């Protein structure tokens, strides 16, 4: 996997924008109205890195490499996060046995179903991350119980590590507020955990996450794929 630690903030903003939009023209991407020469330089760099592609109608879109990289760009600072990523994952029973499930409406994993998830920022308490994630994406407030860790390692065909991800699993309790229908990256739905598991286009290994959630005590599960 190519190392993109030194990617410029302008280039990161382009990738973030294309992650939320299937395609865009040059003028749409230049949202900060930089000089044409300067912005064109950054667009060409992204083309050389094979992170974006330009079609015959002069529309730009993310390549598979660009979609992958978009997962490691901080929403707040546009900086590239390290390959080892820590996120919180929230299981929130909102009405009886139905939990909040999110349908992702941007790339990567567009139209996939997942549980509310957010990257832990450097120096941030994970429980604060869970609180921030829930209120920003659902409009709800809650208290949180730590249930365990799902450690997932993704490897390429040659056995090299591509992603090393820790998901800190929290259960939301004493939930207050009214659920938002939509948020920046998708829409909020309600379904049972069994209904979620029956979805073909669900995000990664939710079986392990749910097993940790249902178990007594705190669990660590390592998944090597």
Write out the residue range of the structural domain in which residue 176 sits: 84-224
| Confidence (pLDDT) at 24 | 95
DSSP assignment of 40-65: HHHHHHHHHTTSEEE-TTS-EEE-HH
| Confidence (pLDDT) at 118 | 93
Q: What is the pTM of this model?
A: 0.64
For residue 22, the domain's CATH number is 1.10.10.10
Beta bridge partners of 149: 168, 220
DSSP assignment of 105-119: -SSSSTT-EE--EEE
| Confidence (pLDDT) at 6 | 59
Do 90 and 41 share a structural domain? Answer: no
With contact defined as beta carbons under 8 Å apart, do 41 and 26 qualify? no
| Confidence (pLDDT) at 218 | 67
| Confidence (pLDDT) at 85 | 81
Q: Is the dihedral of CA 67, 138, 113, 174 positive or negative?
A: positive
| Confidence (pLDDT) at 2 | 43
Whether residue 79 is contained in a domain is answered as no
Total structural domains within the chain: 2
Counting as low any pLDDT under 70, the low residues of the chain are 1-6, 75-84, 156, 160-162, 204, 217-225
Do 95 and 48 share a structural domain? Answer: no
């Amino acid at each position: 996997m190519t190392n993109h630690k030194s990617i410029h903030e302008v280039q990161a903003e382009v990738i973030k924008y294309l992650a939320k939009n299937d395609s865009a023209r040059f003028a749409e991407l230049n949202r900060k109205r930089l000089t044409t020469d300067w912005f064109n330089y950054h667009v060409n760099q992204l083309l050389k890195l094979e992170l974006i592609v330009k079609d015959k109608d002069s529309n730009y879109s993310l390549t598979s490499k660009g979609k992958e990289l978009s997962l490691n760009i901080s929403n707040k600072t546009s900086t590239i996060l390290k390959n080892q990523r820590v996120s919180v994952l929230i299981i929130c029973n909102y009405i009886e046995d139905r939990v909040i499930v999110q349908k992702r409406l941007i790339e990567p994993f567009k139209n996939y179903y997942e549980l509310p998830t957010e990257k832990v920022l450097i120096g941030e308490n994970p429980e604060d991350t869970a609180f921030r994630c829930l209120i920003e994406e659902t409009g709800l407030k809650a208290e949180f119980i730590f249930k365990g860790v799902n450690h997932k390692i993704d490897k390429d065909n040659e056995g090299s590590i591509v992603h090393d991800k820790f998901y800190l699993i929290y259960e939301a309790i004493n939930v207050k507020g009214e659920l938002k229908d939509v948020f920046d990256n998708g829409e909020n739905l309600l379904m049972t955990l069994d209904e979620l598991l029956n979805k073909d286009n669900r995000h990664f290994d939710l079986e392990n996450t749910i097993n940790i959630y249902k178990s007594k005590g705190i669990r660590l599960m390592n998944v090597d794929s």
